[in-house]
Structure formats: C-alpha cells, structure tokens
Amino acid sequence: MLDMDRIPSHVAIIMDGNGRWAKKRGLPRLAGHNAGMKSMIEIVRRSKALGLDHLTLYAFSTENWKRSAEEVSGIFKLLIRYVESELRVIMDNNVRIRILGDYSPLPKDSRAAVEKAITQTAGNTGMQLNIALNYGGRAEILRAVQHLASDAKAGRVDPEEITEESISDYLYTGRTETGCGDPELIIRTSGEERLSNFLLWQSAYSEFVFTDVLWPDFTPEEYEKCLEEYQSRDRRFGGRK
C-alpha cells in the first residue's frame, strides 16, 4: 500500500510506447500520441493529488526531429490542444508549468502555446510541472558548461571554486532555472530500460522503475504501483547498509 508520508518530492517519467500502442491496434501513430496525452493528463492530476512538488515529463527529445514531418507536426498540435483544454484546470489547481529544453525551434503557434502556459502559471505556488521539450541531456550539459565558462571568463566565477553543486545550478533543473533539483524516481514505460538522453547528470542517484505497460495504458493505478516499488527501496547513495 502506498505510504502517503513517503511520496517522493520529484518524479520524472519517460512516456514511451505511444507508437507501439497504436500499431497493436492497427491505428496511425498519431492516435497513440492522442491516447498518450489523455494518460498524461491523468498522471499530472494524480501527481498533484498525491502531493508531489515536481513532476517532469519527457515530451519531445532533440532526437525526435528524426521522425516523419507528419508525426512531429501532430505532436506539436497535441501540445497546443493540451494547453487549450487543460490550462484552466492547471490554474485552478495552482500548478506551475516550466520547460526543460530549447523550445525556440518549435512552430510559431506551438511556441505561443508554451509561452502562454508559462506566463499564466508563473505565479502559481503548487506542484511544478516540468515539460522536457526539445530536450536532450547532453545538450543540457553542454549548455551549462558554456554558460559556466562564459561566467568564469567574465570573472563572475572562480574556476577553482566550481563544484558539482555549482554545475547543477546551471542546468535546467538548477536554482537559476526551474529549481526542481534531481528526481528521486525516474519511471520509464513500455518495457525499454534506458535513459535515452534524459536527465543524465540529475539521475546519478535516482531510483529507476521500468514497466512493460505502454504509456497510453499507464493509469494512475499503475503509477501508484511504481511509487510503491520506489518506497520498497533502501536508498543509500553509495553508502554501506
């Protein structure tokens, strides 16, 4: 049974399996993404109800541009639809939306939807929903290093005093960006067991739960099973038991 006193503060999810879900049903891939969006809505709502501080969802990676133009366009249209349909509920639930990644290459209407969600929820103080959009872990680390090097060159940072914590501060999840820090738990659906360039620095001591359930079938009940699995772990961070 889920222990409500031990809910992780930050959960990150790799939402995988939309295409396979659609293929199993003889449907186009976009039908899988549409079904996946419905699952995402339910998981966001359950996370808020459970009292999470931060939920990070891997929505679109830097590698996803390799997919067909039709599929990429359809994903961005779903993003617009999500903002249009859920923004009022998000506001009512005091949820704040932040973006991990560089969303500037997105189509103009998609960028407008993203900026609307960020702006309108900026003053909310409840759960923070981080959407990893055009995100890649290596690109994030490269960006952080470039900014850190620039600050060191300008004399704002002493290279001898750079620590792991100061590097973390320059990431999208750092204090100067979204302030959500590292996830205690990373969940990946669909049976795949890899990070796929997601939160590479931040996952150093995260717990991982992999489930065979395809994302469109990932219900709040399945989500809570993953949280129960997390709660059964003994997190030692490299120390001895």
Annotation says 64 is catalytic:
yes
Cα(208)–Cα(220) distance, integer angstroms: 18
Residue from 64, 93, 124, 197 carrying the catalytic annotation: 64
Instruction: Return the DSSP state at 213.
Output: S
Cα(132)–Cα(59) distance, integer angstroms: 6
- Alpha-carbon torsion 163, 164, 170, 176, what sign? negative
pTM of the model: 0.94
Q: Where are the domains of the chain?
A: 8-136+182-231
Q: Using alpha carbons, select from 27, 56, 73 the residue that is nearest to residue 129.
A: 56
**Residue 27 tokens, joined:** 């449907």
Q: Using alpha carbons, select from 235, 211, 220 the residue that is nearest to residue 2.
A: 220
Cβ contact 130:57 at 8 Å: yes
58 bridge partner residues: 14, 132
Mean pLDDT by 10 residues, the chain (241 residues): 95 97 96 96 96 96 95 93 92 95 95 95 96 97 96 95 94 84 96 97 97 98 98 76 54
**pLDDT for position 240:** 55
Which value, in Å, is the radius of gyration of the alpha carbons in the chain?
A: 18
Annotation says 182 is catalytic:
no
**pLDDT for position 129:** 96
Cα(121)–Cα(125) distance, integer angstroms: 9
- Tell me phi and psi for residue 103, to 5 degrees: -90, 5
**pLDDT for position 239:** 58
Residue from 16, 34, 130, 182 carrying the catalytic annotation: 16
**pLDDT for position 156:** 95
What lies within 8 Å, CB to CB, of 189 at 6+ separation is 13, 14, 15, 16, 17, 211, 213, 214, 215, 218
8-136+182-231 to CATH, choices 3.30.300.30, 3.40.1180.10, 1.10.8.190, 2.60.40.1220: 3.40.1180.10
Scan for tokens 């669909």, then name that residue. 190
